[in-house]
Amino acid sequence: AQTVTQSQPEMSVQEAETVTLSCTYDTSESNYYLFWYKQPPSRQMILVIRQEAYKQQNATENRFSVNFQKAAKSFSLKISDSQLGDTAMYFCAADQGGSEKLVFGKGMKLTVNP
């Protein structure tokens, strides 16, 4: 079964700094999709960014970008110019190739301090 690992349970960063959240995954599929979700204290799950495995270019959404290393099965999220509103749990997720299901990591709590 596919697994997704977020090894850092918690991080903190100062406002305006850059922070990188790590994620590794294990799959035997050749094509798959990877996602980062954000869950602020409101509890709502929000899609931050997605990456298609067959695309070499790293995805970017405003201050959020990924470093996708397919051979290493690594999918890290970089948040630039951190803001207080970035304080949240962050979950990495992967779909299982042709499956309809996502597998989630256990999450990482990010705190942005003023």
Partner 1 sequence: DAGITQSPRHKVTETGTPVTLRCHQTENHRYMYWYRQDPGHGLRLIHYSYGVKDTDKGEVSDGYSVSRSKTEDFLLTLESATSSQTSVYFCAIRASGGYGVREQYFGPGTRLTVT
CB atoms within 10 A of CB 79: 23
Of 16 and 47, the one with the shorter C-beta distance to partner 1 is 47
Of 16 and 46, the one with the shorter C-beta distance to partner 1 is 46
Report, in Å, the least distance between residue 17 CB and partner 1.
Answer: 26
Residue 85 DSSP one-character state: G
Of 57 and 114, the one with the shorter C-beta distance to partner 1 is 57
Residues 77-106 that bind partner 1 (CB under 8 A): 91, 93, 95, 100-102, 104-106
Q: Would you call 54 helix, strand, or coil by DSSP?
A: coil
Q: Which two tokens stand for residue 58?
A: 């790293």
Report, in Å, the least distance between residue 22 CB and partner 1.
Answer: 15
Told to check if 56 binds partner 1 by CB under 8 A, we report no
CA angle 1, 66, 5 (to 5 degrees): 30
> Which are the contacts of 99, defined by CB distance < 8 A and separation ≥ 6?
none
Q: Which two tokens stand for residue 54?
A: 């067959």
For binding to partner 1 (CB under 8 A), which residues are involved?
Answer: 33, 35, 43-45, 47, 50, 52, 91, 93, 95, 100-102, 104-107
